[in-house]
Amino acid sequence: QENKIGAKLEAVIRSLHRPILIVNDTFKTPECIMVAYDGSAAADKAVDMVASSPLYKGLTCHLVCVNNNEETAEKLLRQATDKLQAANDIDVVTAKLKGKADQELCAYQDQHAIDLTVMGAFSHTRLHDMLLGSFTHKMLVNTKKPLLLLR
């Protein structure tokens, strides 16, 4: 049971095309957030939401890309950083990580006292996720921090 999320939770996340906040402990108002960024449409949506919402004003935003190609990671981060820095009063910190995305992001959350992670969710088909595994599922299982999921 510890490595499973409820089928109903996954179905809700997949069916709703609204931001969904998953809280696995007592919620506290975030002061430091992380955007998990991979250049996908869902990740761009996360960056746009953080940049445009007054809820994130005055916060530190860690923009984190896990990609084994340094040049690709740099390019992706540059594009997203420009959007976030154009927003009012968001302090942007960027990080390029290598390795397994879920493991690296969960470790980064702990190392940098991240209060909330904003990320795209279930951007692949169920068949793809069944064959190759789902990054969203792994984050839901392994994170100790709230996740704001966007589709």
Dump the DSSP string for 47-76: HHHHHH-GGGTT-EEEEEEE-S-HHHHHHH
Predicted TM-score of the model (pTM):
0.84
- Positive/negative CA dihedral, 129, 144, 52, 17: positive
For residue range 2-46, list pLDDT tens digits in order.
455 656 677 776 677 788 888 988 888 999 999 999 998 889 999
In a domain, 137, yes or no: yes
Task: Return the pLDDT at 114.
Answer: 97
Least confident of 39-43, 72-76, 96-100, 118-122: 118-122
pLDDT band at 132 (very low <50, low <70, confident <90, very high): very low
In a domain, 42, yes or no: yes
pLDDT of residue 149 exceeding 50: yes
pLDDT of residue 106 exceeding 60: yes
In a domain, 47, yes or no: yes
In a domain, 13, yes or no: no
Pairing of the two strands 60-66 and 32-36: parallel
User: Domain of 85: which CATH number?
Assistant: 3.40.50.620
Name the CA radius of gyration of the chain, rounded.
15
Work out the number of other CB atoms within 10 angstroms of the CB of residue 123: 19
In a domain, 23, yes or no: yes
For residue range 51-94, list pLDDT tens digits in order.
999 999 999 999 999 999 999 999 999 999 999 988 778 899 99
- Number of domains comprising the chain: 1
Residue 1 corresponds to which tokens in the numbers above? 């049971």
In a domain, 6, yes or no: no
Q: What span, in angstroms and rounded, lies between the C-alpha atoms of 60 and 124?
A: 29
